Structure 1
Amino acid sequence: MNIPGIVSSPETDPNPQALSEDMRRSAHAWRVRLANVDLVNFPRAAMLAGTPLMQLAKRAGIDTAKPFHGQGLAPGYFVEMARPLFETWDQEAVVIDDRTIGRVSRGTLVSFEASMQCVNPPKVPAEPPSGDFADGPHLVCQVGDHGLVVSFDPQWLTTTTAVTTLHDAAQDPQVFAGLGYVAAVWDGRIRVSALVFGQPQSDVQAMFEYATSATLPVPHELKVADFRNELSSEGQMPLCVDVSQRKETMERLGVVLFFAEDQVMPGDIDWEVLRQVVRVVPEYRRDLGVAVASFYPPSGVGARDVAAHLLAREPALWKTFTIPGLATLIGSRNLAVAVVAGVTRDQAADIDEAMRKEAAAYLGSVELDRTMPMQCLFPTKDRYHLVDGELRLRYSVSEMVDAEANSEDLDERLEEWRERELFRTVVWEENAEQSAVDEHEAAMIIGAWLQEPGGSAAT
C-alpha cells in the first residue's frame, strides 16, 4: 500500500515510524456513491494512477483543457459516466475522522465525508482562485477537536446544479464526500485541496432512480434498505439478514460468491473457495456442493433490473450487496460466481469475512434461491462435492467422453488436488442426474438423425 505524503518529524511526533504505519492502516480504497459529482479537478485528479477520467471525458465530449462551464451538455454526460467509476475506484487514501485528523501531514491523500458549510459560494461563471483560499469558495466543518477546511478551484465545478448545491450549503450545511490532498496543517485545523467531491446518494434517491428507469416489472419485495448507500459512513451496517431468520442458524442454504473475473487466472476461484470453505466448515459437517462459472447477465436487460431481481425477496435474502452496489459491478466488470450449497447462514458470513481478507478479487455474496427466475443465471452443475474430509470431482458421461476424445489426462485433475493436500482423499464422482440428461439428449440426437433422409433407418 503506498500512501503519498505520509511524513513526520521527530519534533512533531516522538515515533514517526509508528505514525506512518498507523496512517497506512487507516488507509482504504476510496469508493463513493454520489447523487451528483459536483467537482472534478481534471489537471490534478487525472494524474492519479489508474484513473480513466480522461477517457471518460473524451467519450463525453469534454475539452479537458478548459473548465466545464460553457461546454454545453457534455458535463452532464460526463457526470453520469463518472458516478459508477467512483463506486469501483481502488485509489488508497487515509480516511479523515476523529482519530486521524490530528495525525495527517501535508501531502497526504485523504478522503472525507461530513456535513459541511460553504463559505464564499462560487459565482457564475466561476473565477480563477485568487491565491488566498480564505477569499475563495471553500467548505468547512468540525471533526473532533480539529477544524477541516476543503478548498477547491470553482472552475472545475461540473454543472450549475453543483453551484446551486454550494449556495444551499452556505445557508444550511450539506453532506459532501470527496478526495483531496492535505495542503496545510496549522493551529488545530487542516486544509484539504479537493480533487473530487459530491453529495452521497441517499437510499430514497437510489430507489427512485431505479424505479423510474426499470425496464422489467419492479419487484414488490423491494425495501428501501436494499438501496442503502453502503459506501457512505451513514449507510454502513452489518450484513443484511432478515431478523426473523436469525434463530434458524442451522438451516442449510446455498450462497453465491461473486468475483472480478479479470483479476483471476483459471482455477484461482476454485482453489480460494475450497480453501476458505475447508477453514470455515468443520469436517464432520461437510456435505457441500460447489459450482464455478462465468456470470453472464441477460442481453438487453439493464444492470439495475438484474440486480433488483437477484436480490429482492420476502423474507429478505442473506446478502452483502445492495441493489445499487451489485448493479454497478454488473455494469462495469466481467464477473464470475461460485455457488456453495449446504452451509448455514453463520458459515456463509464466516466465508464472506475470510474471502474479504484473503481474495482480492472477491466482491460479495448473496443467498441462493432457485425459485427466483433471475437466479437461473447461476450455475446448476456442481464441479465439486465435499463430504467430510474427501473431495469428489464430479463428472458426467458426456464430460468424460469429451475429455477422452480430446486426449485429456483424466488423472491430472486428481493429482493436482492431491498434491495440494487440502483433503484427505480426492476421488471422482459421477453426477448421475446429469449423465442421465446427457444420455437422453444423445438418444434424441441419434433418433433424429436416424429419421433423416440418408440416415440408417431410412436406408
Structure 2
Amino acid sequence: MLAQTNAVATAARRAGLDGTRPFAGQGMAPGEFVRIVRPLFETWDAEAVTLSEGTAEKVHRGLLVSFEGAMRCNNPPEPPLKEPTGVLTKDPYLAFSIGARRVVVTFDPRWLTTATATTTLHEAAQEPLVFSGIGTVASVSAGGRIRISALAFGQPETLAQAQLEYAKQSLVPEPPGLTWMDFRNELSKSELSQLHLGQSRERETVSRKSIALLFDEDEVLPGQIDRDVLTQVSRVVPEYRRDLGVAVASLLFNDNGVAVADLAAHFLAREPALWKTLTVPGLTTLIKSFNIAVSTVSGLSEEQAADLDAAMRETVSSYLGCVEVDRNLPLHDRLLPPYDDYHVAGAELRLVYSAARRLQDEANGEDLEEPLNEWRERGLFRTVAWEEDLEQSAAEERDESMLIQAWLNSQSE
C-alpha cells in the first residue's frame, strides 16, 4: 500500500492509481504515477542517512537510508508478480557492496512497474546497473551485511532525461542562467557532491543575501513558520552579526496559461546562478502538490544561508527548500512579500509595523502589547519592541493620496 502523504495521494489520484492495490493489473496508471511522483523524492520530508563507507558502520535496524550503486539483481521477478516469501534464496533482491560490507535490498515485486519488473531487473541480473532509492534498514548481521527494505527505488533520472521532460512541458523561452544543476537528481551521490563543491566555493564570498524558505502550508499552524524561522535564525547567526529582515506569507503561483515547469524555471534561474537547494523538477512537483508558504530572510552571508537551510532540514518537518532572492526577477518581485514582518538586530527582535496598519489595529482595539509579550515569553531575544517601517508607511501614504485624488477627480467630472 502506498504511504498516503498529501502529495503522494494527490499524485496517485492524478494518475488514476488505486493506492490500496499493488501496481500489477492497473494498466498505465503506475507508470504515470511514477512519472509524477519521482521529483517528490527531492523534497522527502524525512531525513534519510546517505549510505556510504563512512555511515555503513553506524546504521541500525529501523534507520531510514538513501542508497545508490551499481547493483546486480538476484532471482529477478517473473510474471505473475507474487508476494515475497521472506526467503532470500527465493525472493528477488538487489545486491551491491559498500567497502567491505555487503548490502542487500529487498522489495515487493507486486509494486514494481511493468518495465522495471520485466526488463530492467532482468538486465541487472546479467550485468550491474545503477539504482538509487530510499529504504529502511531491516537488519545488520554480525558479519556486517546490511539488509534494506526498499520504500522506493529505480534507475536515477539522468540530467538529459530531466531536461527533456522540462522541454516537453515548457511553453515559453528558457530563462537565462538555466543550467544542468537545476535538473540534478537529489538522490544521486555524484551529483550531490558536485552541488556541495559548488556551494562550498560560494561560501568564500562575504556578500549578504536574501533567501526564500519554502514550506508546506497545510502542515503548519498560524504563526508556526515565524517561530520556526526566528528560532533557527537565532541558532545559526551570531548575535553580533544579526541585522536581518524576516517576512512570512503565502506563495501563490498563478500559471495564467504558462506551464508549471516554466514557473519553476523562471523562479529558480538567473545569470549568474542563484544560490538554491531546489531544482526545476522538484519545484514543479511542489507547486502541483502543495499549498506553499514562504519566509524571506535578508542580510545573511552565504555560509549562514547554508547553515540555516541545514538547520531547517534537521528540525522543521514542513520545510521544503530554499532559493536566493533577487527582486529584479519578475516572479520574485511579484510573488515574494515586499516588506519585512520582523527586524532582528543583535539581541533585539523588532516587530515591524506601518502607520496605516497601526491605525487599523488601534481602531479595532487590538492589544499592542500582546504580540510583544508572546515573543518575550519565548526567551529567544533579550528585548522585543515595535519598529515602524518608514518606507512602507510612505508607500501606503502615497497610495492613499492617489486613491483620494482619483476619487476627487471623479467627483468633479
Kindly indicate whether residue 276 of structure 2 is the aligned counterpart of residue 316 of structure 1: no
State the alpha-carbon separation in 1 of the partners of residues 29 and 312 from structure 2. 40
Matches within 5 A, 1:13-412: 42=1, 46=2, 57=12, 60-62=15-17, 68-90=23-45, 97-98=52-53, 112-123=67-78, 126=81, 133-135=88-90, 137-160=92-115, 162-178=117-133, 179=135, 182=138, 189=145, 194=150, 196-237=152-193, 239=196, 241=198, 246-249=203-206, 251-300=207-256, 301-376=258-333, 377-412=335-370
Matches within 5 A, 1:380-459: 380-452=338-410, 455=411
1:381–1:121 CA distance, 2 compared to 1 (3 A): same
Structure number with higher helix proportion: 2
Counterpart residue type for residue 168 of structure 2: T
State the alpha-carbon separation in 1 of the partners of residues 65 and 27 from structure 2. 32
CA-CA distance at 1:116 after TM superposition = 0.9
- Contact (CA 8 Å) 1:110, 1:182: kept in 2 or not? no
Q: Secondary structure at the match of 1:259?
A: strand
Moved more, 119-128 or 368-377: 119-128
- Contact (CA 8 Å) 1:239, 1:318: kept in 2 or not? no
Q: Secondary structure at the match of 1:297?
A: coil
State the alpha-carbon separation in 1 of the partners of residues 306 and 148 from structure 2. 38
Deviations 1:100-135 (A, max 9, x none): 767878888765432112234444555776886535
Deviations 1:157-210 (A, max 9, x none): 312354221232233311223436748959765655655432222333222222
Moved more, 80-89 or 161-170: 80-89
Deviations 1:430-459 (A, max 9, x none): 22222222222222323333344xx5x57x
Q: Secondary structure at the match of 2:191?
A: coil
Counterpart residue type for residue 382 of structure 1: D
> Larger Rg: 1 or 2?
1
Deviations 1:399-430 (A, max 9, x none): 12221232212232233334444444433332
1:354–1:88 CA distance, 2 compared to 1 (3 A): closer
Counterpart residue type for residue 210 of structure 2: G
1:32 is matched with which residue? Answer: none
1:71–1:319 CA distance, 2 compared to 1 (3 A): closer
Q: TM-score, normalised by structure 1?
A: 0.74
State the alpha-carbon separation in 2 of the partners of residues 64 and 390 from structure 1. 50
- Contact (CA 8 Å) 2:40, 2:282: kept in 1 or not? no
- Contact (CA 8 Å) 1:128, 1:155: kept in 2 or not? yes
Q: Which runs of 5+ in 1 are unaligned?
A: 1-41
Counterpart residue type for residue 383 of structure 1: D
Q: Which runs of 5+ in 2 are unaligned?
A: none
1:154–1:222 CA distance, 2 compared to 1 (3 A): same
State the alpha-carbon separation in 2 of the partners of residues 357 and 91 from structure 1. 9
State the alpha-carbon separation in 2 of the partners of residues 200 and 362 from structure 1. 24
Please give the root-mean-square deviation of Cα atoms over the aligned residues, in Å. Answer: 3.7
Deviations 1:352-381 (A, max 9, x none): 333334433333322211111121211111
Moved more, 425-434 or 189-198: 189-198
State the alpha-carbon separation in 1 of the partners of residues 63 and 309 from structure 2. 32
CA-CA distance at 1:318 after TM superposition = 1.9
Q: Name the count of aligned residue pairs.
A: 409
- Contact (CA 8 Å) 1:240, 1:320: kept in 2 or not? no
State the alpha-carbon separation in 2 of the partners of residues 243 and 194 from structure 1. 32
Q: Secondary structure at the match of 1:320?
A: coil
CA-CA distance at 1:295 after TM superposition = 1.1
Deviations 1:201-231 (A, max 9, x none): 2333222222222233212311112222223
